[in-house]
Amino acid sequence: MARMKFLCDADRCIECNACVTACKNEHEVPWGINRRRVVTINDGKPGERSISMACMHCTDAPCAAVCPVNCFYTTADGVVLHSKDLCIGCGYCFYACPFGAPQYPKVGNFGSRGKMDKCTYCAGGPEADGSKEEYEKYGANRLAEGKLPLCAEMCSTKSLLAGDGEIIAQIYKERVTKRGYGSGAWGWKTAYRETIES
């Protein structure tokens, strides 16, 4: 089985936010929630870089480890998903997550955070693949249809890569070799405890 990962080639990202928009549209993500976002570091200064970030689907995911009701599970493809039926909206995954992925619909901060929502790697949730219930809770299940996450699929500069970790790492390595530079696979060390040597 593949081990699905995301890789953002920061030297290619032009901060167009198309991945953000594609994600919101594909999954009809509620207002106020962004499963993916583009963060620009050192904005306007020399060496500025933009990185598109969502749930990294960590190895040994911290969210899953701290969840008091154990509502997370990792699929055979290495995608970290959760059950909104089991989630109690306590906020613990959100304290533990290194990437700010878990978010809560504003049902009101007063004691009720609502069910957690995060990037599903376009792989839905525990419901039957492609079912109406699955779509309403988690959005589209593209992976079940044999497609990769839409954010990466439609990235105009092919900065954002999705797919099997070894393959996208290879693509990135070749890019770095060919062009002679690369600012690294952002978040990989934190998410997967490994990085791409180049």
List of residues contacting other proteins (CB under 8 A): 10-11, 15, 17, 20, 32, 34, 37-43, 46-51, 53, 62, 65-71, 85-92, 94-100, 109-113, 180-184, 186-187, 189-190
Q: 20 φ, ψ to 5°?
A: -60, -45
Nearer to other proteins, 53 or 143 (CB): 53
Determine the distance from the C-alpha atom of residue 196 to the mean position of all C-alpha atoms in its chain, rounded to a whole number: 18
- Select from 113, 96, 122 the least CA-distant residue to 29: 122
Nearer to other proteins, 91 or 130 (CB): 91
Nearer to other proteins, 94 or 121 (CB): 94
Which residue intervals of the chain are DSSP H helices? 18-27, 62-66, 92-96, 132-138, 150-153, 165-179, 188-192
Q: Distance (Å, rounded) from C-alpha 20 to C-alpha 2?
A: 25
Nearer to other proteins, 2 or 128 (CB): 128
Distance of closest approach, residue 146 Cβ to other proteins, in angstroms? 30
Distance of closest approach, residue 125 Cβ to other proteins, in angstroms? 14
